[in-house]
């Protein structure tokens, strides 16, 4: 059923980006994929002097594009992060055994200090993000992450009615003994004619 919905969806999409996603990209990411052409966005991201420890894997016949780097002096989050990581990765959605449809996931990960205080910080940030974003989407899907009997994180995917694509996701995760505490913000988009777009249903704002 999901595959059929996705195929229908591909033929009825609107190549637009709703204001909410533009605001998220503008407020949280140093480089906004929706403001310029995709090639300009990519060049700006790669050449950003604040982005360190860059690794880039170009697209080949057997691999998809992947870029990641670290911001040591930039964070849009309220808690005192030790650093932030940025990831831009190409993914493929399988329509059937022969066809795929590519899209990009653009992710910002904030790292809080280890320990209970860092855990508290990312949980609070997660709740703030959810309060901010949930009003703009018709559907939000919460999934708790557990390790044994203890909660180790949570993920919320946001979308619109009748849409099988998740344009926005937030998450928090804490490792054993809270040695690493992170909160992640992810947006997903398609690239068409050298522009980043979000396919949306007609009832989205």
**With 0-12 CB in 10 A as exposed, 13-18 as middle and 19+ as buried, what is 50?**
middle
Quick one: pLDDT at residue 5? Answer: 38
Over residues 10-65, the pLDDT tens digits come to 434 444 446 788 889 999 999 999 999 999 999 999 999 999 999 999 988 778 99
Mean pLDDT of the chain: 85
Q: Quick one: tokens of 44?
A: 């700006």
Quick one: pLDDT at residue 149? Answer: 81
Q: Tell me which residues of the chain have a pLDDT lower than 70.
A: 1-18, 94-100, 162, 164, 199-205
Share of the chain above pLDDT 90, in %: 58
**With 0-12 CB in 10 A as exposed, 13-18 as middle and 19+ as buried, what is 68?**
middle
Alpha helix (H) ranges present in 12-115?
19-28, 38-47
Quick one: pLDDT at residue 166? Answer: 87
DSSP structure string for 118-180: HHHHHHHHHHHHHHHHGGG-SEEEEEEEEETTEEEEEEEEEE-TT--S--EEEEEEE-GGGS-
């Amino acid at each position: 059923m999901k595959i059929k919905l996705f195929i229908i969806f591909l033929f009825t999409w609107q190549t637009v980006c709703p204001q909410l996603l533009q605001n998220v990209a503008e407020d949280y990411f140093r480089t906004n994929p929706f403001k310029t052409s995709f090639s300009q966005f990519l060049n700006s991201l790669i050449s950003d002097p604040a982005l360190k420890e860059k690794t880039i894997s170009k697209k080949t016949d057997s691999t998809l594009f992947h870029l990641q780097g670290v911001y040591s002096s930039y964070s849009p989050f309220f808690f005192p992060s030790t650093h932030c990581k940025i990831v831009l990765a190409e993914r493929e959605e399988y329509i059937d055994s022969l066809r795929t449809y590519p899209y990009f996931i653009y992710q910002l990960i904030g790292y809080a200090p280890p320990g209970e205080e860092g855990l508290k910080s990312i949980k609070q940030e997660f709740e703030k993000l959810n309060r901010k974003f949930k009003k703009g989407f018709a559907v939000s899907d919460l999934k708790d992450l557990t390790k044994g009997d203890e909660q180790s994180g949570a993920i919320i995917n946001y979308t619109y009615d009748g849409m099988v694509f998740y344009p926005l996701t937030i998450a928090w995760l804490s490792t054993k003994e809270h040695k690493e505490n992170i909160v992640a913000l992810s947006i997903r988009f398609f690239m068409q004619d050298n522009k980043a777009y979000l396919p949306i249903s007609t009832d989205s704002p």
